[in-house]
Amino acid sequence: MLAVAFMLMAVPAFAQSSKYQPGVHYFVIDNAPVSTSDENIEVLEAFSYMCTHCNTFEPFIENWLERKPENVEFKRIPVIFGRRTWEVYARAYVTAEMMGIAEQSHGALMDALWKEKKIFRSIEELGEFYSNYGVTADQFIATSKSFAVDARLRKDQTLVQSYGVSGTPSLVVAGKYLIKGSQAVPNYDTMLDVVDTLIAQEQADMASTEEPAAQAVADTAAEDS
- Please give the residue range of the domain that contains residue 78: 20-195
Q: Does residue 209 sit within a domain?
A: no
Q: Does residue 216 sit within a domain?
A: no
Q: Tell me the average pLDDT of the chain.
A: 87
Of the pLDDT bands very low, low, confident and very high (cuts 50, 70, 90), residue 168 is: very high
Q: Does residue 187 sit within a domain?
A: yes
- Name the domain count of the chain: 1
Q: What is the 3-state secondary structure (H, E, C) of the chain?
A: CHHHHHHHHHCCHHHHHCCCCECCCEEECCCCCCCCCCCCEEEEEEECCCCHHHHHHHHHHHHHHHHCCCCEEEEEEECCCCCHHHHHHHHHHHHHHHCCCHHHHHHHHHHHHHCCCCCCCCHHHHHHHHHHHCCCHHHHHHHHCCHHHHHHHHHHHHHHHHHCCCCCCEEEECCCEEEECCCCCCCHHHHHHHHHHHHHHHHHHHHHHHHHHHHHHHHHHHHHC
pTM of the model as a whole: 0.84
Domain containing residue 140: CATH number: 3.40.30.10
Q: Does residue 221 sit within a domain?
A: no
The string of pLDDT tens digits covering residues 8-28 is 333 344 444 479 999 999 999
Of 17-21, 33-37, 171-175, 185-189, the one with minimum mean pLDDT is 33-37
Q: What is the pLDDT of residue 39?
A: 80
Of the pLDDT bands very low, low, confident and very high (cuts 50, 70, 90), residue 206 is: confident
Q: What is the pLDDT of residue 215?
A: 47
